[in-house]
Amino acid sequence: METHARSIAKAVSYRVLGSATTALIAYAITGKPSTSAILGAVDAVGKIGLYFVHERLWNYITFGRQETKAPEYEI
């Protein structure tokens, strides 16, 4: 299971890329740097929170996860 800190770091790094893309698209459409920066920031904050919740919920889902078995004996 991942730690909360790792889930947050993954969310932030992913969102930096995604929000930069959103800001560039907004700039291409509007031509306004301030509007594109605001849209990129709102996108980042909202989606970091959603991604974090999504990651934490998936820690409780066993689908596709290979569980490690305890050894039959210990020395």
Backbone φ and ψ of 11, nearest 5°: -65, -45
Residue ranges per structural domain of the chain? 4-58
With cut-offs at 50, 70 and 90, classify the pLDDT of residue 73. confident
Question: Sign (positive/negative) of CA torsion 21, 26, 27, 32?
Answer: negative
36 with 24: CB under 8 angstroms?
A: yes
Structural tokens at position 53: 């919740």
- What pLDDT digit, counting tens, does each position of 29-45 carry? 999 999 999 998 998 88
- What pLDDT digit, counting tens, does each position of 6-30 carry? 888 887 888 889 889 999 999 999 9
- Give the H or E element holding residue 72: none
CB under 8 Å to 37, separation ≥6 — which residues?
A: 23
Q: What is the pLDDT, as a whole number, of residue 33?
A: 94
